[in-house]
Structure 1
Amino acid sequence: MTESRPFPRAGVLDRAGVRDDGLTVGRVADVLGITVRTLHHWDEIALARPSLRSDAGYRLYTTRDIERLQRIVLYRELGLGLAAIRTLLDDPAAAAPAELRRQQERIRERIARLEQLDAGLGRMIAAHERGVLLTPEQQVAVFGRDWDPAWAEGARARWGTTAQWAQYAERSAERGAEEWQAVAEAMTGFEQELAAAFDDGVAPADAAADRLVERHRAVFSAYFPLTRSMQVCVARTYAEDPGFAAHYDGIRPGMAAWFRALVDASARAHGMDPDTAIWE
């Protein structure tokens, strides 16, 4: 393969000092910015063969040989394959402009793809740094008037080095206001289910309670995958963290501790001691 240096300009032949007795492989490789191995390969496949041999049997390239090599290097820099290059060089009927236009279109398509990747990387970086890629006004509109946009920054400061934050950021990078609205509505719907179950007196270890616990894991996984052990830790936070407890107890007094009891009972039913649960 050619090295990533500019293809030779027209004046390179003059500077190379090609004489009638030709240049060696090493000298030509240096002049054109390619490897000796590449020249040997092109010789083996009869794409560009040296016209001369020294008395000792070494390959020697003439001025015309190097001119052909220059064209090969140029076409390679433009992205053409060796088969297409051979056709352009050796087939008098080959339509060089048509082939070059096709290659130009392929390059433009690659540029467009790279621009998309660049934009995606920009969003990914911003998501890792900010969490939610919405303006403060959009966040309040989506998550409600009680939402504080500073919470995302606090979450990054606390969990920004964890695998879960990386997963959260990767999903956030793909979400706009509509996608976040769907996530928020799913969580609101789940909290309404919790309130109804609380009012109905659903007890830990009930079948209905276990369904709620599984529903919580599914809804929460919109942020990042939640294992059963991690869910126990989340429910513990709901009950013990003043902010979370105020939110859930604001829906129904005592609901935060009640939901934690549901999650703990479900964990035991699945063979896990909730007292030993850890964040995985």
Structure 2
Amino acid sequence: MAMKVKEVSELVSISVRTLHHYDEIGLLVPDEITAAGYRMYSNANLERLQQILFFKELGFSLKEIKNIIDDPAFDAEEALHMHKLILLEKRQRLDQIIATIDKTVLHLRGEIQMTAKEQFQGFNFSDNPYEQEARQRWGDRTIDEANRKTVHQPADKQKELSEQMNDIFRRLATLRHTAPESAEAQAEMKKWYLYLNQIGSYSPEAFKVLGQMYVEDERFTRNIDQFGEGLAQFMCNAMAVYADQHQ
């Protein structure tokens, strides 16, 4: 049974304006628009909305979510399984924190004594391993898509893109000993961001994650540092600054 936008808004507890925005950017387009102009959402629309909200919970941007869900290789069941693992991990941590609160109350009343270790039971600021795996799983698709687009370009266009990339790297190499937040470095970061979006689809957040890969993956580091030792780390830092300024 189709639902009007107001009904979906009340069901999901998100604003009508948000649903309109999702429609405008092609993230969630209702299956039917009535003659009177009412948006009507089908069961398939609601299933897609559920996936959108799951991915938002993981911190993906709307642009990234659209790319993930629209990918022909996207497996909804696989995604749900990953979401469940992430939430179970979070629930376990929250249960531990709640138990620590209860013990602390008793400790303050003098009814029990807590060790220093017990006082911080449940506090863990390391990444959720399942969430990290999920971001790597779907983040890789952005990179894979960029690679596919590059490979399918005509030979002369591939050569042009390769020369553009090398020129950007060479300019960045001359700046690698300056502050990543400097105007010169950020001007080159803008060029690098625009270049990447010629061959892929990178949100500021994905751009930042890519920069982290430059130092976490030795293959990236080795190739980039051919232009100048320390360039990969400099780019990682400068890309993070650019992303944070353009969220």
TM-score by length of 2: 0.40
Identify, as 1 or 2, the structure richer in helix. 2
Flag the structure with larger Rg: 1
